[in-house]
Amino acid sequence: MTKIAVFASGSGTNFQAILDAIDNGALHANVALLVCDKPGAAVIERAEKKNIPTFAFYPKEFPSKQAFESLILEELKQAEVQLVVLAGYMRLIGETLLSELEGKIINLHPSMLPAFPGKDAIGQALDSGVSETGVTVHFVDRGMDTGPIIEQKTVPIYESDTKEDLEQRIHKVEHELYPQVIQKLIQSKVTHNI
């Protein structure tokens, strides 16, 4: 069974979608670790309910990104993680993790990259007046949302849409697409132990 680590910063709806896909047999993986940079985040409760080990930390308590990423790397190695899945992790991955894990970290972004990278991609799409946006799963590299694209799915934008309407439509697609892509990566054996 492929061991994955999920990095998240918030409520954990994509984390939950991954757990649900494992429970219903659509995803053949074991979430070996949750990494969270906000110790009060709701995603931690979701992990605790499933007895998933969690590494939660306050980045400001460390002298540098390298310092906390070195600890994360040790946690990943101890858990024998084979693939790192970013699911609403709101910080850029630094050199310490990338130098060891490039090609083994994937991210989910709420736009059709390269359009609308970075923060508030949904707001960016609404403000631009485009008729559709989407969801992208991509490998993480040294840029912000610039890594090789694995899969994308479009999401329409309607004239009557509020930001909340569009967010709900995008989340629905994310929750379906992300577990499917993770399973495809596992089946294609592009991953191996960190």
Catalytic positions: 109
Backbone φ and ψ for 2, nearest 5 degrees, come out as -70, 130
103: number of CA atoms within 13 Å, CB side? 8
- As a whole number of angstroms, the distance between CA 128 and CA 131 comes to 9
- As a whole number of angstroms, the distance between CA 7 and CA 4 comes to 10
Backbone φ and ψ for 47, nearest 5 degrees, come out as -65, -40
Backbone φ and ψ for 33, nearest 5 degrees, come out as -165, 140
- As a whole number of angstroms, the distance between CA 152 and CA 161 comes to 21
Scanning the chain, the segments in alpha helix (DSSP H) are: 13-23, 42-49, 65-78, 95-101, 121-128, 163-187
User: How many other C-beta atoms can be found within 10 angstroms of the C-beta atom of residue 135?
Assistant: 27
